[in-house]
């Protein structure tokens, strides 16, 4: 950018390859905070394979949300592929539900994609979008 003043840089390791999933939250006037889970990246737009729940959620609901998508078998290691960190996805859903419950100014939050690799600590946020309401309830 012309005239930009750079005061430093952040260098991070490259996110390892994995499955792309989407986690979303939206505040509804009638239902309150809702959560969404499905395959991420372009797959959510093509397949519309998502599940929903009211936030906050217990771990059992997060587990059910992940297992209810038709693409669950891909995450579980179809045809000998490595199993994705499904427990990590479930923890992310529980924590996202608590976050939007604790902070009512969050009107929408999308993590797309969450890159999910194999093994523990296999979840890495590649992109996130948050829309806040002003303190007077307006956007």
What are the residue ranges spanned by the domains of the chain?
19-132
Q: How confident is the model at residue 137 (pLDDT cuts 50, 70, 90)?
A: low
CATH of domain 19-132: 3.30.470.20
Closest CA to 36 of 55, 20, 19: 55
pTM of the model: 0.86
Q: How many residues does the chain have?
A: 139
pLDDT digits (tens, 9 = 90+) for 59-95: 999 999 999 999 999 999 989 888 999 999 999 999 9
Q: Is residue 45 pLDDT above 90, yes or no? A: no
Beta strand 32-39 pairing with 123-125? unpaired
Closest CA to 40 of 74, 77, 83, 91: 74
């Amino acid at each position: 950018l012309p005239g930009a003043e750079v005061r430093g840089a952040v260098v991070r390791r490259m996110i390892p390859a994995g499955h792309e999933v989407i986690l979303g939250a939206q505040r509804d006037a009638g239902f309150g905070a809702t959560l969404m889970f499905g395959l991420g990246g372009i797959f959510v737009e093509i397949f519309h394979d998502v599940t929903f729940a009211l936030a906050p959620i217990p771990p059992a609901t997060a587990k059910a949300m992940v297992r209810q998508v038709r693409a669950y078998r891909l995450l579980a290691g179809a045809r000998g592929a490595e199993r994705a960190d499904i427990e990590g996805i479930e923890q992310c859903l529980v924590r996202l539900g608590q976050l939007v419950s604790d902070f009512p100014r969050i009107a929408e939050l999308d993590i797309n994609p969450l890159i999910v690799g194999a093994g523990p600590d296999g979840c890495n946020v590649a992109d996130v979008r948050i829309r806040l309401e002003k303190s007077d309830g307006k956007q």
